Chains A and B, each alone.
Chain A
Amino acid sequence: MIVANPKPISEILDMIKDLKKILILGCKGCVTVCNVGGAKEVGILASTLKIARIKGGNPVDITERTLERQCDPEYIAQVKDIVHDFDGVISMACGVGPQFLSEAYPKQRFFPAVDTTFFGGAVQHGIWAERCAGCGTCIIHYFDGMCPIARCSKSLMNGPCGGSAGGKCEISKDVDCIWDMIVRKKMEQGRLDDLVRFKPSKDWRTARDGGPRRSIREELVI
């Protein structure tokens, strides 16, 4: 899923400081699963903002809605009748949400409530970790299902570097060295030969480096 973190409340308060009537739009997709932008978090943000604005003597009128997804025009269209009734709209979806909304409703102002971080999963309840860098050319089969592009701090394809110590990355003891994990798995499976083969440099055109990306599936386009 796409993982995100809540923005600091002070930052959101600053974004909406001149607005009196606000719509907060949650998303039932990834951000609901990672507990940052679903219906529940919409309620918490609404209450928090109201408390802050009452305290500041500048109360705010807030309406709460949560869409099926915010990365699909079909669901974005569901707010067309109400979206212009507000001074501004806070989207709690990933970075896609406020942009799809902005494109659909060019006259309205949209504000992000979350900082979108990475593609990953929940390693335990409340803890998420990055697994994919979306580079556009998957190579994890060379590394027994572990991605050095996303998970090595230096994206080394021929690791591990000299900073690997005790299974941890040189940047922090809280970061696992993915290369240590790759090497150990290969050794356990007796397939070190795979690893000593030189991996040539990557063609980054399929990644963000090639410019903004589009994905066109002809069999679906009408």
Chain B
Amino acid sequence: MSDLRSGSNLEKVLKAGHFAFTGECGPPKGANLEHLKEKFMPLKDIVDAVNITDNQTAVVRMSSWAASTILIQNGLEPNFQMVCRDRNRLAIQSDILGVYAMGVRNMLCLSGDHQSFGNHPQAKNVYDIDSMQLIALVKKMRDEGKFMNDEEIDGPPRLFIGAASNPFADPFEFRVYRLAMKIAAGADFIQTQCIYNMKKFREFMKMAVDMGLHEKCHILAGVTPMKSVGMAQYMAKSVPGMDVPEALIQRLRDAGKGKVAEEGIKFAIEQIEEFKEMEGVAGVHLMAIEWEHRVPEIAERAGMLPRPKI
């Protein structure tokens, strides 16, 4: 295990060849610790690591680094998310050092939703660096022990570097190349956008496998169970870069009143079963938005339990 880059649980699970399972938790809109715990405690021992979102959809919430440290205190492993929207390179690097000092070992590097989506659209947007440059920066800090300006770091942060990939955004033909760029920049693992169009995802994974990307990086497939027909329609129409086939919406509709949520979970489980067999997919990232308490059940039914202890 000497070749471990961070020593995080997620890294160990993936490197041991297990099918990884990560969850997600959005910090509360406030400093309500009990609310935060309510959201992440159901994920304990159910997932290998929990993504802690960073002001997702540009809505102000408890900071991702603070929430990440609270997870650690409670015996869960966070996957600290960081967006480039809110910080310049000074804040980015100091936050990286800070989270590492507090015990964070996984970090997901993102551009971030534009602030016009959120609850402070008047904000100045930073974007000093982009997500690709952030990946390269974390790698440099870890592997070279240097800041962006080439100064030595006293105690380099050893983080397992994650990046996102959206196979469904346009232009589709370029998406796999951008994934390859993120891997070349230093991504150790990839979590994809929520997948609903399985046909398109198979196509995407085939391209990734043909390019040998799955051998250089662990690719986790993104799953978000649909809770209602309304949610499916909203995602189909109003979330840019989201691909929800009409057939899935129809399937949820056909489930009938009171059974839509169960149908959504069934579809998610079918997806997980398929991902287990799909070449190049190293795990699943389950983003159960405001549905964290249903994750244990989904994990159980999808045969993801018990999680490996390494």
Which A residues form the contact surface with B (CB < 8 A)?
A: 153-172, 177, 180, 183-184, 187, 192, 195-196, 198-201, 204
Contacts and interface: CB of A to CB of B under 8 A. Distances in A.
Interface stretch (B37-45, B124-132, B268-276, B302-310): B124-132
A160 B166 CA distance: 10
A198 B37 CA distance: 40
Contacts of A154: 84-85, 111-112, 114, 125, 127, 130
Contact of B132 (A158, A171, A187, A192): A158
25 contacts: A154-B111, A154-B127, A156-B111, A156-B127, A157-B130, A158-B132, A160-B169, A161-B131, A162-B166, A162-B169, A163-B113, A163-B240, A164-B240, A170-B117, A171-B114, A180-B170, A183-B174, A187-B171, A187-B174, A198-B132, A199-B132, A201-B129, A201-B130, A201-B137, A204-B128
B28 interface: no
Interface in B75-92: 84-85, 89
Given A160-B174, A196-B180, A165 B125 contact: no
Nearest to A166: B170
Given A196-B181, A198-B132, A198-B136, A162 B114 contact: no
A163 B169 contact: yes
Nearest to A158: B132
A159 B180 CA distance: 13
Contacts of B89: 201
Contacts of B166: 162
B241 interface: yes
Interface residues of B, number: 37
A58 to B, nearest CB: 34
Given A154-B84, A156-B130, A165 B181 contact: no
Contacts of B128: 201, 204
Contacts of B106: none
B248 to A, nearest CB: 18
A163 B170 CA distance: 8
A6 B148 CA distance: 43
Contacts of A198: 132, 136, 181, 184-185
B224 interface: no
B177 A165 contact: no
B171 A170 contact: no
A201 B134 CA distance: 9
Nearest to A159: B130
A161 B170 contact: no
B290 interface: no
Interface of B: 84-85, 89, 111-114, 116-117, 125, 127-133, 136-137, 148, 164-166, 169-171, 173-174, 177-178, 180-181, 184-185, 193, 240-241
B133 A158 contact: yes
Contacts of A162: 111, 164-166, 169, 193, 241
A163 B181 contact: no
Contacts of A172: 116
Which 4 A-B residue pairings sit nearest by Cβ, starting from the closest? A162-B166, A158-B132, A170-B240, A201-B129
A158, A165, A177: residue with the most chain B Cβ atoms closer than 10 Å: A158
B130 A158 contact: yes
Contacts of B129: 201
A2 B114 CA distance: 26
A187 B130 CA distance: 22
A158 B181 contact: yes
B169 A164 contact: yes
Contact of B148 (A157, A183, A201): A201
A211 to B, nearest CB: 15
B55 to A, nearest CB: 14
Contacts of B85: 154
Nearest to B166: A162
A196 B177 contact: yes
Nearest to B83: A154
B171 A184 contact: yes
B170 A177 contact: yes
B133 A153 contact: no
Contact of A164 (B112, B148, B241): B241
A60 B224 CA distance: 64
A17 B114 CA distance: 39
Given A154-B84, A170-B114, A196-B177, A165 B130 contact: no
B173 A187 contact: yes
B238 to A, nearest CB: 11
Contacts of B111: 154, 156, 161-162
A171 B130 CA distance: 17
A154, A171, A201, A204: residue with the most chain B Cβ atoms closer than 10 Å: A154
Given A161-B111, A199-B132, 4 more contacts: A160-B171, A162-B169, A164-B241, A200-B136
